[in-house]
Amino acid sequence: MPSNSFDLFIIGAGSGGVRAARLAAQHGRRVAVAESGALGGTCVNVGCIPKKLYSIAAHYAESFEEAHGFGWSASSPTLDWATLKRNRAVEIARLNDVYEKLLGNAGVTLIEGRAEVVAADAVEVDGVRYRAERILVATGGWPARPDVPGGELAISSNEVFDLPDFPRRLVVVGGGYIACEFASIFRGLGAAVTQLYRGVQVLRGFDDDVRAFLADEMRKKGVDLRTHAHVERIDRAGGGLRVVLRDGSELAADQVLYATGRNPNTAGLGLAEVGVTLTENGAVAVDEGYRSSVPSIFAIGDVIDRVQLTPVALAEAMVLVEQLFGDGGRKVDYGLVPTAVFTNPSIGTIGCSEAHARERHGAVRVYRSEFRPLRHTLSGSSERTLMKLVVDDASDRVVGVHMVGAEAGEIVQGFAVAMMAGATKAMFDTTVGIHPTAAEEFVTMRTPVPE
């Protein structure tokens, strides 16, 4: 085979693209990956990893304060923003190197540069043309930019990790999980945070109890969370920024972070020009096998705008490669995708919200528990934990597990396995809890919430 010809040419070296490349190479295929940025994509560079590191950092000031109730005494902690940024950058660089080694060790050809699809079987990178039997688009998403006067003054989640100066006054615009996470993170790091959302309640699509509970907890932590809030414009003012709202009120800020969604990253790839159908927001339209309207071109991950989560992109990559080069038959169950939101407190959830379960199953039983965790009986914190189970009444199968509280993601991950196995409420009831833990509450709730 000529050196510029490949069985699979992948555009994008994020989580999904790298996983697909490695697996295809393991099947003995000749694989190339083109990437114009840092290896690892959004997750490694400006998403999951740095966000979780900053979330961990944000808890320390609170932990120092809570330690007094356990007999510890210490001076008030101070944040060195430059040290946090520097240490994060070192870790991200290490992960970039890991991704490069993974591709190299698998025998994948890494091509640095911006790729463009120029035919159903051809890609160009910086003027060099490559032939490919199949092309996989795994270019992820990109933050939506604010469509308001002065919107260019705002930053996105791409820039927030490496701001030159720590923003003492931060306005976060948006009500999704990214907005809520950064509002929690920067409040924990010491900023005065105002979060503006134009809707009725944050976290649209999550269980209503989870949404209301988290909003209350975030406000208790000091986030000035405002709903029904519409930004009219952003101005420069006195060395900072001024956010003018539709009701005439104004907010002074050092930075304004817009987190109002992410769009599929397909601009400039040449997809429409070769006949690939794109949706209204630019996502690649694919069938159940991730094949686009051009039979030789496929897409996975955030660029297809199904479930924008790294583990989902990884799962899609495995399914696609098995379909193309293996036995096939495997599918991604989009109905049971566990999700964590790294707010303070955090969220862990899988399956149906209560409202969705009632639409899908009709009669359901709901079990709900709210309590003060053991830790906070001495810490002095007023933080509370919410746990909720949604059960299909006809089958007794647990169809929704939801938690707001410390380490919610770690706890719900285990219950996700049980749900994939079809666990019933009776199985939960006969499971012995680990005492004293918060997680045991999921197997000790016995009385349904009255209708």
Residues with catalytic annotation?
435
Question: Which string of b and e fits 314-340 if b means at least 16 CB within 10 Å?
Answer: bbbbbbbbebbbbeeeeebeeeebbbb
CB 136 within 8 A of CB 317: no
Alpha-helical segments (H) within 126-244: 177-189, 208-220
Q: How far apart are the first and last CA of the chain?
A: 67
DSSP secondary structure code for residue 196 in this structure: E
* Whole-angstrom distance, CA of residue 187 vs CA of residue 191: 5
Give 51's contacts (C-beta < 8 A, 6+ positions apart). 157, 161, 181, 182, 185, 342
CB 298 within 8 A of CB 292: yes
- Mapped onto helix, strand or coil, the DSSP state of residue 390 is strand
235: tokens are 């101005």
CB 176 within 8 A of CB 195: no
Beta bridge partners of 255: 170
Question: Which string of b and e fits 398-428 if b means at least 16 CB within 10 Å?
Answer: bbbbbbbbbbbbebbeebbebbeeebebeeb
For residue 8, give Cα distances in angstroms to 21, 49, 123, 146, 296.
Answer: 8, 28, 11, 36, 10
